[in-house]
Structure 1
C-alpha cells in the first residue's frame, strides 16, 4: 500500500505523529509538505486507489488557515484519507471535524481519524517530549486497526467529534522577535511557511501575516528568536488548568 503523507508541521510535532503512522502502514510514502509556501499544491492529484494521511496541528481548536487553504488545492479524486490532528495537551475542539470537511471538499473519502499529543509549540512545559513511548505504543495499535479496516475494504466514515459551525478562529498575536544573538543568516526567512519575515531585515515581521507557528524559533541555529517573556508567562498561566492533566491519543474508526 502506498501512502501520501500530507502534513502541516512548522515545529515538527505533527510530522512525528504522521511519520510514525505512515511508516506503520507502508514503506512506500510520498511526502507533501504543507508548510512549504513555495510548493504548487495544485500539482498533487491522487486516485481512488491511494491512501493519504492528512495531518495538521490544532491552533486554538481549529485547522490552521494556511493549511486549510493549501489542502483545498490538492485533488483527492476519491483517495482514502486518515485525518490527524495534533495538539499540545489542551484540547482540539473542532479541528478534526473541520479537517474532515476540508479533505472531503478536496475529494477525499475519510476512513479514520486520530487525535494525538505533541509538545506545545509555544508553552514547552506542557506535553514536554511528547509523543513519548506510551503515545507511540498507542499509535501503533491505532495503525494496526486502520490497516485492518483498509484490508477489509471498509471505507466507511466514522463519527468524528466537533461542532458545525466551528468555534471562532483565534488570532495569532504571539510574534517571535530576534535577539542580539541573531546573525541574519536568513534561515528563518526561508523556512517561514507564510513569508512573514523581511528577507532584507529578519527583525521585521509582518504581524498580519504571521500565524504564530513558531517555526522561526525552532529552526534558528543560534536560538536567536524568542517570544516576549511576559507574554509567554501569560500564555503559560492561561494554559495551566487545561494542560496539566495528561491527555491520551484518540482513534475514530
Structure 2
C-alpha cells in the first residue's frame, strides 16, 4: 500500500507532511487552564503552530483569514455552561473560509452543559468546518479546590489518545461533523457579578489593567473596575505578581458551597468524532 494520503484537492500528501501541517491555535484562556489543553493537543498534531490569543483585547481579529487547507483548534472555557460572550464575539470576527476545526471546551469539573454545541455553532457561522470536539477539565478559575492541578497525568494520557484519533481522521480526509451534545436553544446565560477586589499589596504597576481581556480595569487607577464590563474571568488575580487582587472571602465560601455537590466526583475528558 502506498504510504501517502490526499489533501482536499486530491493531491498526494506524504504522511510525514500531514504531521507537520500548520495548526492554528485559537484560544480564549484568561487564567491559563484552557491554553494548557490547547497547547498539548496542538503540539501532538503538529510542530508548526500559529497562535491567536482571544484573550488579547487589543488584537484586531478581523485580520485573521484561514483557508480550507488549514486546521484550527478553537478552545474556550465554559462559563456557567455557555461560551464566554467575549470569546464568541472575537471568534465571529475570524474568517474560517472552510478551515477544519477541532473545538475544545474546558471546564472546572462542574458541568459544561451547552458550551460545546454553542461553540460548534459559533465556529460554523465563522466559516469553520467542525470535524471534532474535545471536552477537558482544568482547575476551577474561581474555586481552586475543585479540579486542583488539572489537567493532570491521566488527563494528558486521554488527550494524547484523542490527538491520535483526530490525526487519523484528518489523514483519512474524513471531514464529517460529529454529533455534539448540548441543547438549542442554549441555557440562559448566568450573570457574572464576581469582581476581584484590590488589596493593600497593590503597587499600581498596571499589569492587571493591561492584561484584562475586556479593559474593565482603569489603567490610571487599578483599584477602579467597571463592574458592568468585568466578565469575572479572574485573569487579574492570575497575572498579579504581588497577589494584590482577591475575591471576597464570604463570596468565595458561598461559591465553594454551591459547587461542592457537583464538583466532588471527578469528571473525565471526552472526545466527539
Quote the residue 2:16 is aligned against. Answer: none
Q: Deviations over 1:14-46 (max 9, x none)?
A: 000000000000010000000000000000000
Quote the residue 2:126 is aligned against. Answer: 106
What does 1:80-95 correspond to in 2, within 5 Å?
80-95=100-115
| Pair 1:45 & 2:74 matched | no
Quote the residue 1:115 is aligned against. Answer: 135
Quote the residue 1:143 is aligned against. Answer: 163
Q: Deviations over 1:53-78 (max 9, x none)?
A: 00000000000000000000000000
Q: Helix, strand or coil for the counterpart of 1:234?
A: helix
Quote the residue 1:169 is aligned against. Answer: 189
Q: What displacement does 1:188 show?
A: 0.1
Q: Deviations over 1:96-142 (max 9, x none)?
A: 00000000000000000000000000000000000000000000000
| Pair 1:181 & 2:201 matched | yes
Correspondence for 2:150 among 103, 121, 130: 130
Q: Helix, strand or coil for the counterpart of 1:131?
A: coil
Larger Rg: 2
What does 1:1-253 correspond to in 2, within 5 Å?
1-253=21-273
Listed as ranges, the gaps of 5+ residues in structure 2 are 1-20
Distance of 2:197 and 2:82 partners within structure 1: 25
Listed as ranges, the gaps of 5+ residues in structure 1 are none
Query: Normalised by the size of structure 1, how large is the TM-score?
Result: 1.00
Distance of 1:19 and 1:122 partners within structure 2: 22
Q: Which 4+ residue blocks in structure 1 deviate beyond 4 angstroms?
A: none
Distance of 1:64 and 1:223 partners within structure 2: 25
Distance of 1:172 and 1:204 partners within structure 2: 17
- Count of aligned residue pairs for this structure pair: 253
Q: Helix, strand or coil for the counterpart of 1:47?
A: coil
Distance of 2:190 and 2:32 partners within structure 1: 21
Distance of 1:43 and 1:26 partners within structure 2: 23
Query: Normalised by the size of structure 2, how large is the TM-score?
Result: 0.92
Distance of 1:228 and 1:239 partners within structure 2: 17
> What do you get for the CA RMSD once the two structures are aligned?
0.3
Distance of 1:16 and 1:168 partners within structure 2: 28
Q: What displacement does 1:200 show?
A: 1.2
